[in-house]
A and B are shown apart, each in its own frame.
Chain A
Amino acid sequence: MSPNLTLVLISGLLVAAGVYLLLERSLTRILVGVLLASNGVNVMFLVASGAAGGAPIIGVTDPQDMSDPLPQAMVLTAIVITLGVTAYLLALAYRSFQLNGHDEVADDVEDAAIRRLAEADLASDSYDEDVEGQPDEIGRGTADEEGERVPAPDPEAPDAPELEHGDDAEPPGAAEPDPDGSAEPDAADDLGPPHEPAGETR
C-alpha cells in the first residue's frame, strides 16, 4: 500500500498548525488548535484506510473495490468526541471570561507561592547586612511570576505597595500603618494588579 502523499501533507500541516495554537495561552486559540489537530488526525485515518474505493455496501460495490469502512467508523467516533470537546472548551472559556475578564490559562498559584518562599529565603540572608533599614539589592524589588524584577516602590510615595517580605526592613513610607491598606494594589496577588489583566504582565 502506498500512502496518498496529498493526504499525508494535509494531515501534517493541520497537526502542525494545531500544535502551534495549543501552545498559546488563550483557551479560544487552544480550542482552534484542538480542532485543527483533530481534523489532521482524522485525515491521518484516511491515509491509514488505504486506497479510496466505492461505497462499502454489499450488492452495490464489488468487495474488491470497496474502501475500508472501519477507519471511517473510527473517524466518525472521533468527530463526535471532538464535538463534545468543543462544546466543553467553549463553556470553559466563557466561564473563565466571566470570572477573570479573559480566557487565558493562569499559572499555578502554589508554584508562585513556593517560588516566593524561595526568594524570601534568599532575601532574609542579606537583611542582616543592612542596618539602615534600606532594602538591599535583593529586597529592592519584588519579582513577578517570571522572575523579572518589578521596579522598587518609591519609599516616599504615600500609596507605595508594601514589600511583602520586608517586615523587618520596611521602607520609611510604609512604617506607619495605612488606614485602608486593603485597597492597595498588591504585588503578591497572583492574578496581577487588579487594573490590568494577568496576560499582559507576562
Chain B
Amino acid sequence: MNNLVPLPVLLPILGAGLALALNRRPRAQRLVSTVVMVAVVAVSAALMHLSDRLGPIVLWVGAWPQPLGIALVADRLSSLMLVVSSVVTLMVLLFSMGADEEERKRETPVSIFHPTLLVLSAGVSNAFLAGDLFNLFVGFEMLLFASYVLLTLGGTGERVRAGSTYVVVSLLSSTLFLVALAAVYAAAGTVNIAQLALRLPELPDGIQLVLQLLLLTVFAIKAAVFPMSAWLPDSYPTAPAPVTAVFAGLLTKVGVYAIIRTQTVLFPDSHLTSLLLWAALATMVVGILGAIAQSEIKRMLSFTLVSHIGYMIFGIGLASISGYAGAIFYTAHHITIQTTLFLVTGLIETRGGSTSLNRLGGLAAASPVLGILFFVPAMNLAGIPPLSGFVGKVGLLQAGAQAGGFLPYLLVAGSVVTSLLTLYAMAKVWNRAFWRPRSAEPDALELVAGEEHSGGGAAPGVTSPVTTAPERARRTRLPRPMVATASVLVLLGVGLTVVAGPLYGYAERSATDIVDGVAYVRAVLPEGIR
C-alpha cells in the first residue's frame, strides 16, 4: 500500500521520457500520455480513499534509516489535491488532443507539449506529496521548469516577452526559497516537515517568526497573493489555451497548499491572522477591480484567478477548522472551475477568432453549446446558488462570522463584494461576447487603445484601424473532441455541487487533521525520533 505513494510522481516522469522518445510518432505519444494520466488519476483516487480510511500513508524512499531519507506523505489534504489536479491535467491533455493538426503545428509543437505537461504533473504531485521542505522545493522546480517551457512554447515574440517576466519572478522566488531552506536548516538542523514540527517550537520566537515569514513570502509569490500578484495576469494569457488552463488550475494552488501545510504543521501557534486577512482582502479587491477593467477574456480570467486566491487566504488566515475546511473545499472547486473557464475561452477563440470583447459578438446565436459551456462555470465562479462556488463561499463566510471581530467581518463583506463584482465581470463577457450582435464596426475605445496583443504591434491608423491586426480565421464548427472534453469538465464542476456534502465533510476531516497536526507527525516519525 505504501508503494502507491510515489506513483503519482514516478508514472508521469517515466511517461514523459517515453513520450519524448516517441516524438516522431504523435499517435503513440498521445496514447502514452493518456494512459499515464489515467493511471495517475486512479492511483490518486486510491490514495484519497485509503488515507481517508487509514490516516496518512508514508513512504520513506529508499528505506534509509528513518529520519535521514526522504519521506513522501499522502494525507487527506494532499491526496484530495492530487485527485483534483490529476483529473484536471488529464482533461487538459484530452482537450489539447482535440485541437486540429493545423492549429497544433502553429501553437503547440506536440512533440514537446506532451512530455512537458507530464513533467509538470509530476512536479505538482511531488510538491503535494513532499514530506520535507527540500523535496517541496524540488517539486516546485520541476513544475516551474515545465511551466517555463510551456509558457514560451513556439517562442513567438509575445510569449518570449511574457515568459521573461514569469521566469525572472519565479527565479527570484526560488532563490528566496533556498535562503529560507538554509535558514531553516541552520536553525533546526533538519528539513523534514514532521521533525521540524517537533523542533521549531523550541526555538526563540523571533527566529520562528523570521522563518515563517520567509516561507510565507516564497509561497505567496507562487500563489500570487497581493502584493506579489502582479506577475500573473501579465504572463498567463499569452500561452496557448490548454497551457493557460493548466497553469491557472494548478500552479497557484500548489502555493496555496504549501501555505496551508507550513502554517498548520510547522507554525501551529503563530497564526499571523491579521497579516493574512489584510493580504486576503487586498488580493480579492485589487484582483477583481483589475478584472473589471479588462476587455480581453483571458486577461480578465487571470485577474479573477488572483482575486479568488484571496478567498483561500481568507480561510487560512482564520486558522480555525471551519476556515481551513472552507479554504480546502474552495481550492478543489476553484481548480476545476478556473481550468474549465480557460478551456472554454480557448473554444471561444476558435469560434470567434479572438478573445477580445471588443471584437466578439453574437456567439450565443452562433453557437448555443458554447454559450452553455461558458455560462455554467461562469455562474459557478461568481457563486450563484446552488453551484459549488456558492457552497465554498458560504463555508468561508460562516467561518468568518464564527471568528467574529472587526477584521473577519470586514473580510466577509469584502468576499461578498468580490463575488458580486465577479458576477459583474462574467456578465460583461456574457453580454458583449454572447448576446450583443456581432458588429462590423470596431469600438471607439478599441480605436484608441489599439489591439496590440493580437496584432503584434499593429498600428491603429486612421484609414484601416482594425484590418492591420491579423484576425484569426473563424471557424464555423468547433472541433468535437474539444467540445466533449470541455463539457465533461463543466459536468465535473456541476458534479462538485452534487457531491458537495461528502466533499465538504472530507474537507472538514482534513482540516481537523492538519489543525490537530499530531496524526501527521506520528505517521511520519516513529516514536522517540526527534
Report A's interface with B, CB cutoff 8 A: 3, 18, 22, 27, 30, 34, 37-38, 41, 44-45, 47-49, 70-71, 74, 77-78, 81, 84-85, 88-89, 92, 95-96, 99-100, 105-106, 108-114, 116-117, 120, 162, 164-165, 167, 170, 174, 177-178, 181-182, 184, 186, 188-191
Contact = CB atoms under 8 A, between A and B. Distances in A.
B264 to A, nearest CB: 24
Nearest to A120: B448
B354 to A, nearest CB: 14
Interface string B128-151: 000000100010010001001100
Interface of B: 134, 138, 141, 145, 148-149, 152, 155-158, 160-161, 163-165, 167-168, 171-172, 174-175, 178-179, 181-183, 185-186, 191, 234, 293-294, 296, 299, 445, 447-453, 457, 459-464, 468
Given A99-B160, A116-B449, A177 B463 contact: yes
B1 to A, nearest CB: 29
Given A27-B164, A186-B461, A74 B134 contact: yes
Contacts of A41: 175, 178-179, 182
A188 B445 contact: no
B453 A106 contact: no
Given A116-B448, A188-B450, A38 B138 contact: no
B461 A181 contact: yes
A165 B462 CA distance: 10
21 contacts: A38-B175, A41-B178, A41-B182, A44-B182, A48-B185, A49-B185, A71-B182, A74-B181, A88-B145, A92-B152, A92-B167, A95-B155, A96-B164, A99-B160, A105-B168, A109-B161, A110-B294, A110-B296, A113-B450, A113-B451, A191-B457
Contact of B182 (A48, A162, A164, A189): A48
Pick the 8 closest A-B CB pairs, nearest first: A48-B186, A186-B459, A120-B448, A113-B449, A44-B182, A41-B178, A105-B164, A48-B182
Nearest to A3: B186
Contacts of A170: 462
Nearest to A44: B182
A44 B176 CA distance: 12
Given A95-B155, A113-B449, A114-B449, A106 B161 contact: yes
Contacts of B293: 114
B155 A38 contact: no
Contacts of A30: 168
Contact of A71 (B179, B185, B462, B464): B185
Contacts of B138: 77
Given A38-B175, A41-B179, A92 B457 contact: no
B463 A181 contact: yes
A95 B160 contact: yes
A190 B457 contact: yes
Chain B interface, >50% SS class: helix
A34 B164 CA distance: 13
A44 B157 contact: no
Contacts of A120: 448-449
Most buried by B among A71, A78, A109, A111: A109
A48 B183 contact: yes
B452 A190 contact: yes
Contacts of A37: 175
Nearest to B162: A108
A131 to B, nearest CB: 21
Nearest to B163: A92
A109 B186 contact: no
Most buried by A among B149, B183, B186, B294: B186
A174 B447 CA distance: 17
A34 B178 contact: no
A104 B88 CA distance: 35
B161 A105 contact: yes
B452 to A, nearest CB: 5
Contact of B145 (A84, A100, A108): A84
B171 A78 contact: no
Given A41-B178, A44-B179, A116 B186 contact: no
Nearest to A27: B164
Nearest to B230: A108
A88 B160 CA distance: 12
A34 B239 CA distance: 25
A78 B149 CA distance: 19
A49 B181 CA distance: 12
Given A81-B174, A109-B453, A189-B459, 18 more contacts: A22-B172, A30-B168, A48-B182, A71-B185, A74-B191, A95-B160, A99-B160, A105-B165, A109-B161, A109-B457, A110-B234, A110-B294, A116-B448, A162-B462, A177-B462, A177-B463, A182-B464, A189-B452
Contacts of B174: 81
A58 to B, nearest CB: 13
Contact of A184 (B148, B185, B461): B461
Contacts of A71: 182, 185
Contacts of B185: 45, 48-49, 70-71, 74
A189 B167 contact: no
A114 B459 CA distance: 16
B448 A100 contact: no
A79 to B, nearest CB: 11
Contacts of B451: 113
B164 A92 contact: yes
Nearest to B447: A167
A184 B464 CA distance: 13
A89 B166 CA distance: 12
Nearest to A121: B448
